[in-house]
Amino acid sequence: MTGSFGPGPLPESADVVVIGGGVVGCAIARELSRFDVSAVLIERSPDVATGTSKANSGILHAGFDAEPGTWKARLNVRGSRLYAELAEGLGIPRKATGSLVVAKDTAEMETVAELRHRGIDNGVAGLEIWNRDQVVAHEPNISSDIAGALWAPTGAIVCPFLATVGFAENAIRNGVRIVIECAVTGIDVADRQIVGVRTTRGRVATRFVVNAAGLHSDEVARLAGDDSFTIKPRRGEYILFDRSVGQLVNTVLFPTPDKVSKGILVSPTVHGNVFIGPDAVDIDDPEDRETTAGGLAGIIAGARRIVPALPLGTAITEFAGLRAAAGKDFVIGPSPAARGLVHAAGIQSPGLTSAPAIGEVIVEMLQDVGLRLRAKASFVPVNPEKPRFHELDREAQARLVARDPLFGRVICRCETVTEAEIVAAIRSPCGARTVDGVKRRVRAGAGRCQGGFCGPRVTAILARELDVPITAVRKDSIKSWLFLSRADLEAGEGIHA
């Protein structure tokens, strides 16, 4: 099968259907693409990475949090190693910053000592207990009232969007079809065996389905008669700061964790920003990504416990992400209700870290339930490199512009993103189709002016490249049109394509 990405068409049949284009679904699809198998990934949004994968901490956890023996423990450590091997070849920005769990008093020092032992049990390398002076030497802006910290040299940071896009693009290059704007409406089960998936774009016959539907994975399970788990969305709010304060922290700073979450952290991002967050609030609506005044105030207070001098004046955006929690551990394994259905669900933290390892175990499980897989010689494990103008030296920049003049037109001035990069992001195999899709791939609009300058220009480039009118260009979701024409307004029409 030739790989593709776009709103249809859905093939009439496939060996495997993966439901959900988050980092987990895309990592599974990429793992499947090693084999001679027809695989289709369906995603209801116009892009991959639009649910939990678009709003999270972007951290590759070292793996000392989870209790030994859990999926979380096993897959976190394996996933963290896989990113170290895969990231560069797949075009996934990753920085090995290390991480610190900061303890404020003797009781918390005891907790971080326990974490160290747990980490050793989980196979995490290099864990050390640092005293106050060691921590302060590494993090000059840290609160003066700390007692010490757990240092995890294998902790790292990653771009969660480009991780998802990197897996998706590689899957497509190796033959996976990704069908977007395609929502699952039913799962056909005959004799307790999966036989097909019905969608808003028609039906695909298949005997194997992977449920990687994130916040909606319990709904997908129920479509197959499986009510073995329930997703409880847990919202976390974040504040992102400008790159001008990128030197605030050098590493991921966690507080000593409580029972609910890892707490409010202060962390650098791979793109040189700093963020604080998240809090953890159970909510009912799996689409409710509203930030709240109380939530933002709470994470500011929480972050100040670690770094008292927060540069609040340099905040560039606030956002909320939703964790798809289904209890303490991930829900990974064959459905108890329908043969051929395998769940990769309830993937909360450390889900981003675990994603490539989840891909490995899900493929093993599919084989266990009867999918025949034969490795294919044509598998190409890497994506072609995409030049990032602002990261290059002047000589390399000059060569790029000589090759393609559109590298000479800077569209996003805050992040120095050129038109050539935006065009490449749209034309790539897993190409952006929305303004936020462009932002997530090349950072046009992700800087301090938040698209105030480049937004209209990116909109025009999208319209040109996708060959659609300006009024059909969307921000993010299917119905998130940005502009209407004068004629629409005169005709009393609302915003629509």
Partner 1 sequence: MREFSYDVVTIGGGPAGMAAALAAREAGAKRVLILERDRELGGILQQCIHNGFGLRRFEEELTGPGYAHRYIDMVKATDIDVWLDTTVLAAEPGGVITSVSPQAGLTVVRAKSVVYAMGCRERTRGAIRTPGSRPAGVFTAGAAQRMVNMEGYLPGKEVVIVGSGDIGLIMARRMTFEGAKVKAVFEIMPYSNGLTRNIVQCLEDFGIPLYLGHSVTAIHGKDRVTGITVSEVNDKLEVIEGTAFDVACDCVLLSVGLIPENELGRAAGIAVDPITSGARVDQFRETSIPGFFAAGNVLHVHDLVDWVSEEAAIAGRSAARHARGELAPSGRERSVMAGEGLRTVVPQRLTDFEPGKMSVRFYFRAAKPMGASLLQFWADDALAFERKLRVVKPSEMIVADIPVRKIGDAATLEFRVVPAPEKVAAEDEIEEEA
Question: For this structure, is 61 an active site residue?
Answer: yes
Of 129 and 478, CB closest to partner 1: 478
Q: Which residues are paired to 311 by β-bridges?
A: none
Length of the chain: 497
Distance of CA 301 to the CA centre of its chain: 26
Q: Give the whole-angstrom CA distance, residue 9 versus residue 18.
A: 16
CB of 447 to partner 1, least distance (A): 10
Amino acid at 415: E
Catalytic residue among 61, 216, 271, 343: 61
Cβ proximity to partner 1: between 196 and 451 the closer is: 451
Distances 464 to 6, 204, 264, 444 between C-alpha atoms, Å: 17, 32, 42, 17
Rounded to 10°, the helix 455-466/435-442 angle is 110
Long-range contacts of 445-450 (CB under 8 A, 24+ apart): 445/412, 446/271, 446/412, 446/414, 446/415, 447/242, 447/243, 447/316, 447/412, 447/414, 447/415, 448/242, 448/243, 448/244, 448/314, 448/316, 448/414, 449/413, 449/414, 450/316, 450/317
Nearer to partner 1, 195 or 300 (CB): 300
CB of 238 to partner 1, least distance (A): 11
Judged by DSSP in three states, 465 sits in helix
Which residues are near partner 1 by CB under 8 A? 239-240, 244, 287-293, 295-296, 313, 315-319, 394-395, 397-398, 401-402, 405-410, 413-414, 416, 419, 448-453, 455-456, 459-460, 470-471, 474-486, 488-490, 494-495
How far apart are the C-alpha atoms of 355 and 362, rounded to whole Å? 10
CB of 420 to partner 1, least distance (A): 9
Residue among 180 and 316 whose Cβ is closer to partner 1: 316
345 contacts 231 by C-beta, under 8 angstroms: yes
Whole-angstrom Cα distance, residue 103 to residue 256?
Answer: 6
Q: Which is nearer to partner 1, 296 or 344 (CB)?
A: 296
Nearer to partner 1, 228 or 244 (CB): 244
Terminal Cα-to-Cα distance of the chain (whole angstroms): 32
Q: How far is the CB of 343 from partner 1 (least distance, A)?
A: 26
Tokens of 457: 């220009």
341-345 β-sheet, strand order: 4-6, 177-179, 39-42, 16-19, 208-211, 341-345, 331-334
Q: Which is nearer to partner 1, 335 or 434 (CB)?
A: 434
Q: What is the nearest approach in angstroms of partner 1 to the Cβ of residue 489?
A: 5
H/E stretch holding 16 reads: strand 16-19
Supply the minimum distance, in Å, between the C-beta of residue 368 and partner 1.
39
Smallest distance, partner 1 to C-beta of residue 406, A: 6
Rank residues 221 and 458 by Cβ distance to partner 1 and give the closer one.
458
Smallest distance, Å, CB 348 to partner 1? 21
CA distance 295 to 30: 36
Q: Which residues are catalytic?
A: 61
